[in-house]
Structure 1
Amino acid sequence: MEVLGRLLAMLAVLLVGTGLRSSGALNDARTARLNATAYYVALPALVFVATYDQSIGDLLSTELFVGSLAVLFATGAIAWIAYRNRLSNDRRSVAIIQSYHSNLGYLGLPLVAATFDTQVTAIASVILGFVTLVQLPLTIVVLSAFGAAEAAIGRELAALAKNPVLLALIAGLTVGSIGVTFPGGVVVGLDALGSLALPLALLCVGAALQIDADAVDFEAVGSVVALKLCCMPLLAWVVFSALSVDRATFTAGVVMLGMPTAVSTYVYANELGGDAEFASLNVFATTVASVASLFVLITLLG
């Protein structure tokens, strides 16, 4: 019941963000400031605190790396086959990317940190790092292959090099590997900032969601929800079981890869010729439906 209560609270905060945006209380400028606080302050603090006392060798295993990427590419391949002869090009590209592109930063890591122990959170931070480095360029390539807009892969990769969350991950793993200690007060302060990551992220995600009920293609949206929230975590469960990873790695891998579609996919669809309205619907649907799917996953994982 505690897990269900936490997930329902997550949904409530998400819908509060949507309501504040609809009422005008959370306008573009305020949403941008809220987003910047989450992106540049809360999330990096959460990542650093989760990894600063851990060695990278204890967190990143070959099985975790290979398994995560195998699940990512397998889900993408299944989506490509499923949509190969369906939908228009602009919708097909969006359906494919939103079947595998997970919301690892804004929802995944904060939720794991709020639900599981520090070891699982640290491994989830590492998953956030290397999976982001793969799924983002892959998404740009897929959208560009179907769309009319040219890919800005170089620009996006340059932006990744300055990503504060990834920089915090590198800093945390470096500090953990060389054994530097930090004063307790600093750690407590960073931990307090990191605890703001989930509510801030949920408000930002809620404010970014847009939905036009009259334009919903229930079959197409339902198939994306099924691939993202059912197929992908099931594949993760099978792959990590086959690789015989330890319990913390298994938990972090399955939960992180079971996250809903990232809000950023809507942004990239809008920039690179995808169906932005369809992308927004899928983000909304997978995010809301993830309350049920994550409850099942977290309950099964204990």
Structure 2
Amino acid sequence: MAELLLLLWPIVALIALGVWLKRSTWLDSGFWPAAERLNYFILFPALLVHSLANAPLAQAAPWQLLGVLLSVLLPAAALLWAWRWRYQVAAAQFGPQVQGLLRFNTYIGLALAGGLFGASGLAVAALLLALLVPMVNVLSVLALLSDRRWQARAVLWPLLRNPLIVACLLGLALNISGLGLPLGSEALLKFLAAASLPLGLLCVGAALQWQGLRGAWRGLLGNSLLRLLLMPALALTVANLWGLPAQSAAIVLLFFALPTAPTAYVLTTQLQGDARLMAGLITLQTLLAIVSLGLWLAWIGSRVAPAVS
């Protein structure tokens, strides 16, 4: 337990440092949008390509992993849509609720997966992202556009331009083709990848918006508890039913226990959703996850014997 807390507290500390840096005058206000763009378009894709290109995909049980993810996401999405139609929830509020329940903070997830299981954990996590990122983005866009006439371009074009999806596809292609990362590109990507997670965690702290916590407490708290407690329990149950290897099952549990993604705020704003609700969900889930992730990490440590680095 003590070792797992030692793994979690530096992540929390980086997020807290991001909060302080954003509120102080030490950095110019233009730093954070530039840092987020740098990480989103260059550093984080480099980490995904580097992790996937040489990942032992067979050991990660990709088809089982895909089955688990579909078995969790599709019923959850169906229940969300049934709730939406039953209570006539507008798309502006429905979109944030869907993203709050289904999206996840990749920076925290990769930092924990790598800390728990090293390079093999990062490989499984990268494969999970390659499968999960397109799914949750499609569901998020559909939810935000659910009051409008559906158009294929409105859903597909943002996905085709998504640098994380492109990086996942490129990494998988390099892996499957056997090319790997030739001509010194592995060293370059490793340097870029090393900067991604600390910068990403600082940006998570900077992106927290405290004003979003005012009002609508029932919706914020209900969505957050479902995300941080029910979804990981469901994911763990499904992973065990599918017979997923212990390490892969632990990483699936971990990613479904993460708070929602800060980038959900950007998508919500672009598609005219309730940005205040989305900001509240991001902030509250990130704060509550400090406790809930500690509990889930303790559970993982009691059953999977993680190799904490």
Give the TM-score, by structure 2 length: 0.84
Residue 219 of structure 2 corresponds to 220
Deviation at 1:243? 0.6
Q: Number of residues paired by the alignment?
A: 299
What is aligned with 1:98? 100
Partner in structure 2 of residue 193 of structure 1? 192
1:139 aligns to what?
Answer: 140
Q: Which residue of 1 aligns with 2:256?
A: 257
2: distance between equivalents of 1:295 and 1:248? Answer: 18
Between 158-167 and 182-191, report the one with greater CA deviation.
Answer: 182-191
* Cα deviations by residue, 1:251-281 (Å, 9 ceiling, x for unpaired): 2211122211111222232233332112101
For residues 244 and 31 of structure 1, the distance between their equivalents in structure 2, rounded to whole angstroms, comes to 42
Look up the match of 1:51.
52
CA distance in 1, matches of 2:131, 2:180: 25
Residue 4 of structure 1 deviates from its aligned partner by 1.5
Judge which range, 232-241 or 85-94, deviates more. 85-94
Structure-2 separation of matches of 1:156 and 1:18 = 33
Hey, what does 2:268 align to over in structure 1? 269
| Superposed CA offset, 1:62-92 (max 9, x none) | 2211211221233334445567666963434
Give the share of equivalent positions with the same residue, in percent: 24
With 235-244 and 53-62 compared, the bigger mean Cα shift is at: 53-62
In the aligned structure 1, how far is the partner of 2:277 from the partner of 2:224? 13
Structure 1 residue runs without a partner (length 5+)? none
Deviation of 1:109 after TM superposition, in Å, equals 2.4
Superposed CA RMSD in Å reads: 2.9
Q: How does 1:78-117 map to 2 (within 5 A)?
A: 78-80=79-81, 89=90, 90-103=92-105, 105-117=106-118
Q: Distance in 2 between matches of 1:178 and 1:138?
A: 30
Return the letter of the residue paired with 2:247: A
What is the alpha-carbon distance in structure 2 between the residues aligned to residue 293 and residue 82 of structure 1?
26
> What secondary structure, in the 3-state scheme, does the structure 2 residue paired with 1:54 have?
coil
Unaligned stretches of 5+ residues in structure 2:
302-309
- Give the deviation of 1:117 after TM superposition: 2.6
Q: Secondary structure at the match of 2:145?
A: helix
- The letter for the 2-side match of 1:67 is V
Pair 1:62–1:96, CA change in 2 (3 A): same
Greater shift after overlay, 159-168 or 222-231?
159-168
CA–CA distance in structure 1, aligned partners of residues 150 and 205 of structure 2: 28
The residue identity in structure 2 corresponding to 1:30 is: F
Cross-structure match for 2:300: 301
Within 5 Å, give how 1:22-171 maps onto structure 2: 22-59=23-60, 61-80=62-81, 89=90, 90-103=92-105, 105-146=106-147, 154-155=153-154, 157-171=156-170
User: Which residue of 1 is the match for residue 282 of structure 2?
Assistant: 283
> TM-score normalized by structure 1?
0.85
The Cα offsets for residues 25-82 of structure 1, whole Å up to 9 and x where unpaired, read as 4455311221122223322232223222235444453221121122123333444556
1:162 is displaced (CA, Å) by 3.6
Equivalent-residue separation in structure 1 for 2:56 and 2:186 (angstroms): 17
